[in-house]
A and B are shown apart, each in its own frame.
Chain A
């Protein structure tokens, strides 16, 4: 669930553990990764401001949007306190990531750059030097929370943007160093999975503790039609999609949940997955040879069986058939012989076992030795 992810980011990591890391992964089929990223960002920001979270500050590396976009976003969500309470710092990698504008202005090719300078924005001009970026992040973060035990969070707007300029292993090195730093409590980043090969996605998933994957709700065979549908929905200012959240827990188990989301003007709304869109749960129980479960019919039949020695329920006392008396109820073919029938069943008229004792054939009072008949 998106709520559990935000809670995990809020709670951060324990002492000695690597920082919690979230990857938000989207693709062209469901291109709303930015919305999810912004949602997570605003949730974490409000948690930081209300002091509910482990981290006391947020460093945002903005590469695909300018810093003013983020300030407007936070303002629209009701978070306005930037100046007095220093809790956020944005590293601007959007305006001049490769330092070209500066180079051009130094060589008087273009006029001097005038950009909006916010108090808590630092522009960095060399995205290819990740060591410098790392030290800048840490320095800025320490500035937010102080030198002591304070911890801060790091958000990277788009890791895809970084992968345009740097290699995968150096990016992985940066992320692992961020996660391993004592003062960083949680990190999260956005990735567009169809811009990179599978290995890049696998590496980023390996390095993160939580992965949010955006998928489209309906599997439409016609991709063109899906995109058109999405566009028309977009015009109505509402977009739908599905997210799948994979969370790695400390004991090694993984928890997978699915949710649907709905984007409109005011933000994102998450709802639990509707039944028909839930993945088909194959029953894991294989067919066992001895099945101890009863079907309905079998259960009813079982209830109908009348057991011997059971109270018949019709007010009469239990009749235990003694056998010495002749059967009075209609039975099959009993001739009035002194044969004695031993009791076999007591219930009325279901079945009968007729047993003739061998010793009944004997004449009474015969004490003869049967061997006397033999002539040895």
Chain B
């Protein structure tokens, strides 16, 4: 009997074909035919199940009192530059290019004194003693070291200041030309563009009063990004936006993160209480709350194990996200953890769930 292997169903995608076609390290293929782009923070990629899915719009709700959204943006932009992906950066500052000088540099891989070549033979002829960060999907960024100049001059980076133009149409056209150019650079799908918009509704921007104009801009940006190979990140301070529009934006965007700071320090010894409550409180610089995660080509919603993570800077260099470790609470007690108001600067955020 000739045993021929026939496929029972022809609907499953053959992964081996895909792997051979793309060579770019900036992409990762996930389940259900989704393609992921790294966020630049390894912990965040793990939480999201691979990274940001291609064509998604990420929203970061800033904390009005802390600059941690800049850390997330920096890692995102630096990851794109390391992978030679074109980048569009917009900010309300009058000279946005200055921000590029603060991007972190990737950590070089471990130097292992081992003779790989002996064991692998002809499979990897180019293997060097240290791993090149370009070939990694997500690099570990050292926030203290600035990104090398050759990354900044090599590929196309455009910086736009969104402070002056009163209406957003010129910015919208800028985005659409940027996204169209990505298609033209490379025929295959390995070229991904990144758009980073910082402090979108900052008060000094002329359009910050025009809620509906901003909403329609975000909608058109979302449609542009979805039909091209790009990922866009928008950060904005939610306290300056009316709550109904904040909700509208949350529904419109694919991923939604909120940054909160740890409890403001009163002069009393509340810190000691919090330090007892959470391990590693002193290292924590803030909290990240994941409100919404994309459903990549599936009808089943993604339910995360935990939605609140603490942001820590390891040795002030590496950004890590950790699950909050808390002492077990007596369930029968009336004063629950959330209502005592610790770990959230504002009472409008709901209970933290672990």
Contact = CB atoms under 8 A, between A and B. Distances in A.
Contact of B336 (A180, A251, A256, A286): A286
A208 to B, nearest CB: 10
Interface stretch (A85-93, A108-116, A199-207, A329-337): A199-207
B273 A285 contact: yes
B204 interface: yes
B261 A252 contact: yes
A281 interface: yes
Contacts of B93: 180
A172 B202 CA distance: 9
B64 A206 contact: yes
B341 to A, nearest CB: 7
Interface stretch (B105-113, B293-301, B322-330): B322-330
A242 interface: no
Given A202-B240, A256-B265, A281-B270, 11 more contacts: A168-B203, A169-B204, A172-B202, A177-B204, A248-B65, A252-B66, A252-B261, A256-B264, A281-B268, A285-B276, A286-B335
Contacts of A167: 209
A232 interface: no
Contacts of A173: 163, 203-204, 206
Given A203-B203, A251-B285, A284-B342, A289 B328 contact: yes
B349 interface: no
A299 B341 CA distance: 32
A287 B335 contact: yes
B209 A254 contact: no
Contacts of B206: 169-170, 173
Contacts of B67: 252
Contact residues on B (Cβ < 8 Å of other chain), bracket: 35 or more
B28 to A, nearest CB: 31
A151 interface: no
B239 interface: yes
Interface string A205-234: 111000000000000000000000000000
Contact of A254 (B203, B240, B265): B265
Contacts of B242: 199
B345 interface: yes
A282 interface: yes
28 contacts: A168-B209, A169-B208, A172-B204, A199-B240, A205-B64, A206-B240, A248-B65, A248-B66, A251-B285, A252-B63, A252-B66, A254-B65, A254-B66, A254-B264, A255-B264, A257-B266, A258-B267, A278-B268, A281-B266, A281-B270, A282-B335, A283-B340, A284-B270, A284-B273, A284-B277, A285-B277, A286-B329, A290-B328
A255 B265 contact: yes
A281 B340 CA distance: 10
A255 B264 CA distance: 6
Contacts of B335: 282, 286-287
Interface string A17-36: 00000000000000000000
Interface string A94-116: 00000000000000000000000
A65 interface: no
B133 to A, nearest CB: 27
Nearest to B210: A169
B248 to A, nearest CB: 17
B68 interface: yes
Interface string A228-261: 0000000000000000001010011111111000
Contacts of B340: 282-284, 286
